[in-house]
Amino acid sequence: MAEEKLFDKKISRRQMLKLTGAGAAGAAIGASGLGGLLNVFGMTTEEDNPSSKNKINFYGAHQSGIITPVQTHVYFASLEVLVKSQGELKELFQQWTPMAVRLMNGEPIGELSSNGFIPAKDTGEAGGLDASGLTLTFGAGPSLFDKNELGLSSKRPAELKDLPHFPKDQLDPAYTGGDICIQACAEDPQVAFHAVRNLIRAASGKVRLKWSQAGFNSYPEKNKKRETPRNLFAFKDGTSGPDAASKQAMNDVVWVQPGESKGWLAGGSYMAVRRIQMHLETWDRTALSEQEATFGRHRETGAPIGLKGEHDEVPLDQKDASGAPVIPVDSHVRLAKEAKAQIHRRSFSYSSGTMDATGAYDAGLLFISYQKDPEQFIAIQKSFGRADKLNEYITHRGSALFACFPGVQKGSYIGEALFKTL
């Protein structure tokens, strides 16, 4: 291959810099030594490898990592786009597509060159690890369509705008927004990080990391079946929600249908992201009965107050002997149910050291939800409003919304429909 011949001879660092600095090809290769080789030599097509261990397919009608069973780790990255033309942005997604396939195969993004005088194509920290159930999900934020030089304003869906300010929000600009995002989920934290690291590295000069967050879940098992994970308040998190195995439910809740938004988004979904600090010190000083009243569920079983089964229907109309609602009027579960809107959750706990000199934990929930219309998430958040008793123990610090592309077919690339005339 031309690529192999290019790197057969040993060259000095000065010569390499001259080569990578010359013209469009050099700009594409960039600091990583890989960069835009796919652009220079033509887009390649990689195949899902069915023999890869713990492999999830890249190609399909929908992107992976949306209704895929939630893994134990996430590395989420919000990026700023630096390219100055729609053509360059298109090339970026074309460049990333075969890399994403290889990463989800558990393979390095490029084979190790025999030339030791150039940087390796892959950073290598996932060497010896398998695919680990890696999923990669890509989305576009509202700000991407505000960049006049990209010429995408006419393709911006009306629904794609910054989430409104909600009661009790104390957002940190360091954890808000983004032009595009990459959500990497895997059963191994290093596999997830490696994927995002290498995609950003390969796009040196084209994107810049705006903010990121690593997260984790732990799943108890019963009869070899995963049970609902617990959040850092020790309550089961994600008990209720639409059935991800039901095509009809997913079409009703998650997948944008033709005619419901811009045509390029059909088969895609909207991703709402919230970085929620949980005030562990305050929570840990709260009586168990008060904690259960806050959620409207029993901590041990996850069952609604007064019931025994985690998945029992929440008895919103039931009263106790005094005539008060069994499920408190300001409980988190009641307010969520009363919103009468559904979303598909994909959330993870996080712990990122301390907030300040007081030693308070910077820990909480990286809340991610998917829905066919952001109004589904907004309706629930508005229902919580100032009434939600949980607000005493949490603060929303980060917020973003992204339109996640439909799935990729073989021979196509991430976000292809966005660049077509619709």
- Could you report the per-residue pLDDT of 313-349, keeping only the tens digit for each? 999 999 999 999 999 999 999 999 999 999 999 999 9
* pTM, two decimal places: 0.89
Among candidate residues 234, 391, 228, 220, the one with its CA nearest the CA of residue 300: 234
Query: What is the distance between the terminal CA atoms of the chain, rounded to a whole angstrom?
Result: 37
Question: To the nearest whole number, what is the mean pLDDT of the chain?
Answer: 90
- Could you report the per-residue pLDDT of 214-242, keeping only the tens digit for each? 999 999 998 888 999 999 999 999 998 99
Q: What phi and psi values does residue 191 have, to the nearest 5 degrees?
A: -65, -45
Question: What letters, b where the CB count within 10 A reaches 16 and e where it falls short, cover 50-65?
Answer: eebeebbbbbeebbbb
Q: What phi and psi values does residue 149 have, to the nearest 5 degrees?
A: -65, -20
Average pLDDT of span 395-400: 97
What pLDDT does 115 receive? 84
- Could you report the per-residue pLDDT of 268-291, keeping only the tens digit for each? 999 999 999 999 999 999 999 999
Report residue 174 as tokens: 């360091």
Q: For residues 61 and 286, what is the distance between their CA atoms, to the nearest angstrom?
A: 47
| Phi/psi-derived region of residue 20, left when phi > 0, alpha when psi is between -120 and 50, beta in every other case | alpha
Sequence-distant (6+) residues with CB within 8 A of 55 are: 48, 49, 104, 105, 106, 130, 131, 133
Q: For residues 375 and 255, what is the distance between their CA atoms, to the nearest angstrom?
A: 14
Q: For residues 103 and 108, what is the distance between their CA atoms, to the nearest angstrom?
A: 6
Residue identified by tokens 């397919």 is 57
Sequence-distant (6+) residues with CB within 8 A of 116 are: 10
